[in-house]
Amino acid sequence: MIKKLSKLTIAMAVAAQALVGCGAAGNAGQENETTAAAETETAGEPELSESVPNDGRGELISDEDAAALAYMKKYMVEDFFGDGASYEVYAPDGSDNTEGFLSYIDHGISFFASVYSGGDEVVEDLPYMMLNETLKSEKKDLESNGYSDVQLGKVVKNGADRYVAVSAIGEDYFGTAYQERMLFYLDIPKTGVAVLWQIEMNEMQMDEMTEPILAEIGQCYGIGLENLVPHGDWEKGDAARKVEAQDVYEPEEGEPALTKVDGYQYLGQVTLSLKDGEIPCPVMAPMGATTRVREDSVTASMHGVSIYISGGFTGTDQYVPRMKDSVNRLYEQKINDESVENRNVHKSEVMKISGYQDAYYYIVDYETPDTQTGEYYQTVSVNCRIIIAEKFALLCDITLRDNAFDTSTNTLLQELETAYGIDLSGYYYEE
């Protein structure tokens, strides 16, 4: 971004200098003012600036009204390339303002401002020439940086001020398309002086603060930015990419590999070697990007579902009493956890798994706070024990975290139900 801005700043300075001594061109500039983008605008493209209404005055907000602003602040920006005079610029609070260049980058908003002057005789040409040069430079830079569908609006009057909107489609690191919207605004505080500010809005980085800040920017300059907010499909596309990326199964070199099983989309089969190789045991497990298979265990985590499968010595043939002790211990642990405040902790009975002579499972579910946001989400611990030899069991532990559920979760849960004879229907993902 810094490289791009420096090129734009140079182009603007050159444009301002070129205006000096060409006052005779005033009439030509006036005639072409409403079609400043005509040389670069593609036929049939929408005129984006028409969706940015104005109050027709082009005046900055009063100091009295400014006092009520929550996100904006008045800065004095120096005419660094001219006579050193300073001019008012309303910009998001927290902007950096040094050597005639103001900048702010946060909440998906990039806001930049500079002052340019060209002399009294070029007052009519200054808005037209500066915006036209800006658009030419911007379109060239966007296309050279891989943006597509670059759309330029018409230059629109707002009193003595002028502005124009730009839109483009970019791709993130993973190739997911996102929308970028921009507005270039020339505030004309006095004859021959233009305060150019531009705002860029990136769909990927917007949050709950973006629109309130935009509303106040518009309030300060008498324009409405609501319709300029990007409303592309990046969030939906990125979510779909993250879902699909979890399903890419690439076994590590030398490790046993799960193989596809008819009728299953996510689960594959592999034979584990348990009890020091005495027991070959075929198991079903999710096939995804995090799946790892060892000689005697499988781990995987995808779509909010984590699973660990291994073998274990039970030390007893009293399986149900032992599992009752286990579920009670886990229940008490989650209620009395001193490191985190869990809530709504529940436990099930020890339930028999159909299709086996000796196979049981229990469930403990609870709500726990996210370590980053503090918001509570449901965690479900499912513990299965399938007896496969005397005092030896196949252990299948499944953990569900509903803050990571997605559109593939229910299919995966249903496949685990089929493969292991358990009931997880009470925890299906609801959009």
- Domains parsed from the chain with CATH numbers: 2-238 (no CATH), 246-427 (3.40.1000)
Residue among 68, 104, 95, 109 nearest 210 (CA): 109
Diameter of the chain by CA atoms?
A: 102
CA distance 14 to 25: 17
The one-letter code for the residue type at 183 is L
What kind and span of H or E run contains 211?
helix 210-221
Q: In this structure, are residues 47 and 150 in contact, taking their beta carbons and an 8 Å threshold?
A: no
Q: Which one, of 283, 422, 271, 284, lies nearest residue 359 by Cα?
A: 422
Other beta carbons within 10 Å of 355: 9
Q: What is the pLDDT of residue 278?
A: 92
Residue 306's pLDDT is what?
A: 96
Cα 155 from Cα 179, distance rounded (Å): 21
Q: Model pTM?
A: 0.61
| E strand or H helix that includes residue 308 | strand 305-313
* Residue spans of the chain under pLDDT 70: 1-50, 118-129
Task: Give the pLDDT score at 279.
Answer: 93
What does the pLDDT read at residue 25?
34
CA dist., res. 307 & res. 113, Å (int): 53
Which long-range contacts (C-beta less than 8 Å, at least 24 apart) are formed by 182-187?
Answer: 182/138, 183/52, 183/225, 183/228, 184/131, 184/134, 184/135, 184/138, 185/161, 185/221, 185/223, 186/126, 186/127, 186/130, 186/131, 186/161, 186/162, 187/58, 187/60, 187/89, 187/161, 187/221
